[in-house]
Amino acid sequence: MAEGLAVDSPPAARRGARSVVLTGTAVLSAYGRGTGALLSGLRAGQHAFAPVRRFDVSARRVSCAATMPGSPDLRAEVTRAVRDACDEAALPPAERARTALFLAIHADPDIARAPASEQPALGPGAFAAGIAASCGLAQQGIRSYTSACVAASTAIADAAAAIARGQANRVVVAGGYLVDSDQFALFDAGRVLADDGQVRPFSAGRRGLLLGDGVGAVVVESGESARARRAPELALIAGWGRAGDAYHPVKPHPDGYGMARAVTAALQRAGIGAADIGYINAHGSGTGHSDPAETNALRLALGDAAGSVPVSSTKSLHGQTLEASGVVELIVTVLAGSTGMLPVNAGYLGADDSCRLNLVLGSAQAATAEFAMSLNAAFGGANTALIVGLS
């Protein structure tokens, strides 16, 4: 493993000179709409999983997910989140019209049941363009990311990289997934859902993941632009990294090869060391293969600090929000750092020797973190690391 890293490590990650900040956030989770609802849920440390009522799960092996009541509409909820994030960033209409949207989304939920003639208009690109138009954002530079559980984190990294190099002053990054019958059936068929109704990341006895509703939006902006318009600076996007495993179509590299390189690149861009990270919001899917791989990645990238930095996977609370994971969990990470409250790694039953980390157990813990990191991984061996500065 170490030999592989030595052979394939890229040169030190580069970045543009400009600082990158978050000036607006908005989120929906199974705890409700808004960062306040999410923060309350994180503080309470009670998971949001319950039997699914939104669609028929009687033919499924597993019946639980973390959902809001009813059947919220994805387009409406993403639109609401983007508008709310722009409002928090105090963006006037003229500035919104100059701001591109990067949207992480699987597809328009209607595409698989639409007539073939209508399908071309229901792709993720068209979905993103519709959201941008509804929110008064720019009609140029729109991107849609479909990279599964790293879609939103990749979009945030790309936005930060472009802003740091002066290619853009500001990008709104959003992501959305609302638990639906098709994805639920797929995950159930893949036998990756936890049949005990709870997600137990890094724990002995973990039995898999559970899906969750998630919509998030962040305004990513150059520090210069934010200061010029006296916008709130909620957090610094200090570093970002992405790397692949080159191992398997859907399984992570057991040694955490790609994620370790993503973490290393993020640390290099942030200009900090492993010991400077005060909290890690882990990918922590709660599946058998993924959690040990992530543990190995952290050991490889952080060295001794991997045993001391507090870690939790809040998928144990709000569930796996697929394409939205990167933005929802970045917002969780910012909330944790800015409020001095590290969310619990819920569902823990006992130690697993392959997942030895300093987990936040029992309940949320009070702690300060000048820098915090959010990790995500996906099918394809895709890995991302985002580091936020919170001073």
Partner 1 sequence: MMQLHAAASPDLAALHAAATAAGLTVSSSACWPQTDADREVTPVAGFIESTFSPLVAEVAGRALSGRDRVQQPGTVIGIVLVTALGDVTSAIRVATAVDAGQRVLPLLFFQSVPNAVAGYLAARWHLTGPVACVSGTSAGLAAAALLIADADADEVLLVRADLAVTGGGDRAAAILVTGQAGRE
- Residue 63 interacting with partner 1 (CB under 8 A): no
Contacts of 46 (CB under 8 A, 6+ apart): 317, 346
Angle at CA of residue 308, ends 302 and 313, nearest 5°: 85
- Considering the complex, state which of residue 272 and residue 361 has its C-beta at the smaller distance from partner 1: 272
Query: Which one of the spans 24-32, 150-158, 220-228, 277-285 is the region binding partner 1 (CB under 8 A)?
Result: 150-158
Q: Which DSSP category does 198 fall into? A: -
Q: Which residue's entry shows tokens 């990645």? A: 297
Q: How far apart are CA 84 and CA 104, in angstroms?
A: 17
Minimum gap (Å) between residue 167 Cβ and partner 1? 8
- Residue 59 interacting with partner 1 (CB under 8 A): yes
Minimum gap (Å) between residue 55 Cβ and partner 1? 9
Minimum gap (Å) between residue 295 Cβ and partner 1? 20
- Residue 124 interacting with partner 1 (CB under 8 A): yes
Residue selected from 32, 34, 232, 244 as contacting partner 1 according to rule CB under 8 A: 244
- Residue 243 interacting with partner 1 (CB under 8 A): yes
Burial class (CB in 10 A: 0-12, 13-18, 19+), 391: exposed
Minimum gap (Å) between residue 286 Cβ and partner 1? 17
- Residue 220 interacting with partner 1 (CB under 8 A): no
Minimum gap (Å) between residue 212 Cβ and partner 1? 17
Residue selected from 190, 271, 273, 288 as contacting partner 1 according to rule CB under 8 A: 190
- Residue 207 interacting with partner 1 (CB under 8 A): no
- Residue 363 interacting with partner 1 (CB under 8 A): no
- Residue 214 interacting with partner 1 (CB under 8 A): no
- Residue 242 interacting with partner 1 (CB under 8 A): yes
Specify the pairing of strand 100-104 against strand 143-145: parallel
- Tokens representing 195 are 């049949």
Specify the pairing of strand 365-366 against strand 170-177: unpaired
Q: How far apart are CA 287 and CA 284, in angstroms?
A: 8
Total residues interacting with partner 1, rule: CB under 8 A: 70
Q: Which of residues 368-387 bind partner 1 (CB under 8 A)?
A: 378-382
Q: How far apart are CA 352 and CA 360, in angstroms?
A: 15
- Residue 123 interacting with partner 1 (CB under 8 A): yes
Minimum gap (Å) between residue 305 Cβ and partner 1? 23
Alpha helices (H) along the chain = 2-8, 35-44, 74-88, 93-96, 124-134, 151-164, 181-189, 223-228, 257-270, 290-302, 315-318, 325-339
Length of the chain: 391
What are the backbone angles phi and psi of residue 218, rounded to the nearest 5°? -135, 145
Q: Which of residues 13-32 bind partner 1 (CB under 8 A)?
A: 13-16
Residue selected from 200, 261, 283, 315 as contacting partner 1 according to rule CB under 8 A: 261
- Residue 11 interacting with partner 1 (CB under 8 A): yes
Query: Which one of the spans 2-10, 75-83, 276-284, 313-321 is the region binding partner 1 (CB under 8 A)?
Result: 2-10
Radius of gyration from C-alpha coordinates of the chain: 19
Query: Which one of the spans 146-154, 195-203, 223-231, 305-313 is the region binding partner 1 (CB under 8 A)?
Result: 146-154
| Residue 355 near residue 306 (C-beta atoms within 8 A) | no
- Residue 188 interacting with partner 1 (CB under 8 A): yes
- Beta pairing partners, 383: 243, 377
CA 58 to chain centre: 30
- Residue 232 interacting with partner 1 (CB under 8 A): no
- Tokens representing 283 are 């990918």
Neighbours of 128 (CB within 10 A): 23
Residue selected from 182, 205, 228, 303 as contacting partner 1 according to rule CB under 8 A: 182
Residue selected from 112, 204, 275, 351 as contacting partner 1 according to rule CB under 8 A: 112
- Considering the complex, state which of residue 97 and residue 112 has its C-beta at the smaller distance from partner 1: 112
Q: Give residue 319's identity as a one-letter amino acid code.
A: G
- Beta pairing partners, 219: 24, 172
- Tokens representing 45 are 């440390």
The footprint of partner 1 (CB under 8 A) covers 7-16, 56, 59, 106-107, 111-113, 116, 119-120, 122-125, 128, 142-148, 150-151, 154, 158, 161-162, 165, 167, 181-183, 185-192, 241-250, 257-258, 261, 265, 378-382
